[in-house]
Amino acid sequence: MKNIMIIALLVNAALITVSFTLKTDIPFLLGTNACKVKYKQNNGIATLISLHDNENTAIDAFNSLPKEINFNLFEIHQQNLRTLTCRVDNKNYLFDPNRIFSQIGIKATLEKYND
């Protein structure tokens, strides 16, 4: 069940990419918890990704790049924390979005941040 929720984040993120040409602030639900993706499109050669709401390294890098070099910026926002929270069946599941790209990472992040 928990792995399915993490995979749901990935699916939501993939579906959101379809909306990038329509608007730049895209709300979505993670379980029943609200999240928002901000996307700044510059027809870039690459996209910088900011997965943690409390870290700004990718955002600072994006803002400091010379204007002649075009990059895009993808940010996930929820509660200004490192972890994201997915609420399902009245239970919150916290996870580090950096750890959702492998089964080992999913298991590790769910064990670290949840009972």
- Strand pairing category for 33-40 and 25-30: antiparallel
Domains of the chain by residue range? 2-113
pLDDT in tens, 6-46: 666 665 665 555 455 545 788 888 888 999 988 887 787 88
pLDDT value for 38: 87
The string of pLDDT tens digits covering residues 40-59 is 877 878 888 899 999 999 99
Cβ distance 16 to 49 under 8 Å? Answer: no
Asked if pLDDT for residue 4 goes beyond 90, the answer is no
DSSP letters, 40-70, are E----SSEEEE--TT--HHHHHHHHS-TTS-
